[in-house]
Amino acid sequence: MAAVTARAPWTFRQPLVVRSSLRRWRTTLGMVAAVGLALGMVMTMMAMIGGSTWLYVGDYQTSGADLYVLQRGGTLVPLLPGEGLGSLDDARHRMAQARGLPGVRAVVGVVAWPLRRTPDVPVRRLPPERFLAIGVDGDAGAIPNALDVRSGRWLERDDEVVLGPKLARQKGLAVGDTVTLERRRLAVVGVGKLRGASLAGDGAAFMTRRTVQELGHVGDRVDFLIVDAAEPGETAAALASQIVSIDVWDRGRIVAAIDQLMSRSMTIWRMVIGLALFLAGVFVSSMLSRSVIERSGELATLRAIGVPARTIASLVVGDATLVAVLATLVGIAISRLLGFWLDRVLAASLNMDSIYRADAGLFAQAFLVALVLGALAAILPTRRALAVEPAEVLRES
Amino acid sequence: MLEVRQVSRVYELGEVPVHALQDASLRVADGDFIAITGPSGSGKTTLLQIMGCLDRPTSGQVLLDGRDLGTLSDGERTRLRLETFGFVFQRFHLVSVLTAIENVAVPLEALGVDADERYERARELLEQVGLLERINFPPARLSGGERQRVAIARAAANQPRFVLADEPTGALHSEDKARVIELFRRLNRAGQTIVMVTHDPEMARLADHRMEIRDGVLREAA
């Protein structure tokens, strides 16, 4: 070989498969557009599934509370008609028991009760407006990230109320206003919620448990207790052994139950996602096959001059990989645009904060899906490329 | 030494067998320049492809230094084509998305030669065929003669023992033809063994030995 006197340019240094795939970008454009669109739709659907799921699990994932204690047989996530929380009677005693256990850092009792909103000026023939009131007993601020206060502050007195963000938005109420419930005027001191207090916390009015007891004539009961513990496993066992007729739910059990609840309604979405990916895969496979047929002369030449079969295969796989990478980028762009529109227009119209939840993990998943799709789509074209007989093709040409 | 021993090749054309080659025998010694002439469809290309491990004979043997190439696996035959044979085709068969220098360097890359070394070698070969100014041109921007010179440079890139050329001037004008003829002469003078099939009497006259093939039967040319 000749002595080395010139350095090869950067493009020359790239492997044949890279140069070949990149320079064929025009022929891959159609595939990139189609697969990118499919991936964009899939990512958006996955982000909406994520958004829907997060609406329910988000509070439990964010709150530092470890355990939820409720009546035996009750459920935080009703899956069947008739299922519900149940209630814990003799609430003061049970909360005292729980607070006395070693390793327990905070215990908050929660009770939900509907209360009528009474107008300041009596108006006839108007049906009474009902608020879902959530009574809170204990220092919720002691549990890390349990409080989500958007404006104002959390409850300090019995004549105060904190409105859930959705409720405040719907009723046009803000900090400084007053709300009259069951003929008692309550000062709105904040807009926010106690995370994990209810799946409908955004639409509830939070007040002290004593206020709910007085206004709703509720006895000494709570729906459940929220517990923050240093050693959740040990505390759960201690709670179960020392307080009769209770169930203890940890975060994992809640999330699993919500996933089970969501999975029923998500089946159709998953079928649509599967169909979109299948169609995209078939499209890419047929386009790659067509490309292989068009390039059969070149592939035959490469085989004739001794280029190994694995390099020939990598030329097709390289095209598929390029399509996967570019289509993922196109898909992310489409999905972000759709997500922006969904949150700005659709979520606002549905009185929701967000229905699109996408993060790097979702896009990484989509990229993996695209790679797998590309690899599957490349199987048949690659076999076709390897089946090219140089003698036949070169003789024909 | 490349030896073809009583090689026959029969194709099935529907249900009709076509005898492309019948009991062809030929010995190619290192440094030879052999021209095989004959009319279209006489079996010239078939013989060349069998000699170059691109096709397998129906019967007979092809021996390289006494080793029967018919016993080799597909992978071994591919490796042999890469290391021992260089091919020049009538229709050039360059890779359209690669530049001239990249096309020449393809066999070197397949051999695992380092990028700088293969760049230098390909550049040198293109200089030898008079295309130094066009090393970064894609095939579409080269004339037919220029493309064939790139193809010859590619065939010589791995310094193969045998260059097998199938009608190398068949698609060229007379001026380009003269340059290509000169290149083959030069390759042969440098010690390369050349087997060429051609219609072209001018090309055939270059050779040390001339063979003729008619209806699949190979014999010494008159």
pLDDT tens digits for range A127-165 = 778 899 999 999 999 999 999 999 999 999 999 999 999
Share of chain A above pLDDT 70, in %: 95
State residue B215's pLDDT score: 84
Q: What is the reported pLDDT for A269?
A: 78
**Across residues A171-181, what is the average pLDDT?**
93
- Domain with B133, as residue range(s), is 2-220
**Angle between the A16-23 and B100-111 helix axes, to the nearest 10 degrees?**
150
| Mean local confidence (pLDDT), A243-250 | 87
Residues A192/A151, Cβ–Cβ less than 8 Å: yes
The pLDDT-based confidence of B161 (bands split at 50, 70, 90) is very high
pLDDT at position A125 is 65
Half-sphere exposure of A150 (CA within 13 A, CB side): 17
Q: For residue B173, what pLDDT is reported?
A: 81
Q: How many CB pairs under 8 A join A and B?
A: 108
The answer to whether the Cβ–Cβ distance between B83 and A297 falls below 8 Å is no
DSSP E strand boundaries for chain B: 2-13, 16-28, 33-37, 59-64, 67-68, 85-88, 162-166, 193-198, 209-214, 217-220
Q: What is the mean pLDDT of residues B150-166?
A: 92
Cβ-defined contact of A308 to B96 (cutoff 8 Å): no
Q: Which residues of chain B neighbour A2 with C-beta distances below 8 Å?
A: 117, 120-121, 124
Alpha-helical segments (H) within A4-109: 10-13, 16-23, 25-62, 91-99
Query: Taking 70 as the threshold, does the pLDDT of residue A394 lie above it?
Result: no
Question: Given this model, what pLDDT does residue A121 score?
Answer: 64
Domain count within chain B: 1
Query: Is B88 a residue whose pLDDT tops 50?
Result: yes
Distance separating alpha carbons of residues B89 and B203, to the nearest angstrom: 15
pLDDT at A122: 62
- State both tokens at B57: 């004979």
By residue count, chain A amounts to: 397
Segment (H or E) for B177: helix B174-189
pLDDT, average across residues A355-369? 85
Disruptive mutation site among A301, A305, A316, A393 for chain B (greatest number of B CBs within 10 Å): A305
Distance CA A209, CA A198 (A): 15
Whether residue A130 lies within 8 A of chain B, CB to CB, comes out as: no
Q: Do B120 and A4 touch (CB under 8 A)?
A: yes
State the greatest distance between any 2 C-alpha atoms of chain B, in Å, as a whole number: 53
CATH label of the domain that carries residue B140: 3.40.50.300
pLDDT at A2: 47
Which of chain B's residues have a Cβ under 8 Å away from the Cβ of A394? Answer: 49, 54, 89, 93, 166
Mean pLDDT of B175-196: 87
Report the C-alpha gap between A205 and A130 in whole angstroms.
Answer: 11
| Res. A262 pLDDT band, cuts 50 70 90 | confident
Q: Which residue has the higher pLDDT, A264 or A328?
A: A328
> Is the pTM here over 0.80, yes or no?
no
Report the percent of chain B where pLDDT is more than 90: 64
Give mean pLDDT, residues B24-28: 92
What was the pLDDT predicted at A30? 84
More confident residue, A52 or A169: A169
Q: What is the ipTM of this complex?
A: 0.90
pLDDT at position A393, please? 65
Cβ count near A294 (within 10 Å)? 11
Binning pLDDT at 50, 70 and 90, where does residue A200 land?
A: confident
Residues contacting residue B30 through CB under 8 Å, at least 6 positions apart: B1, B161, B191, B193
The predicted model gives B29-45 an average pLDDT of 90
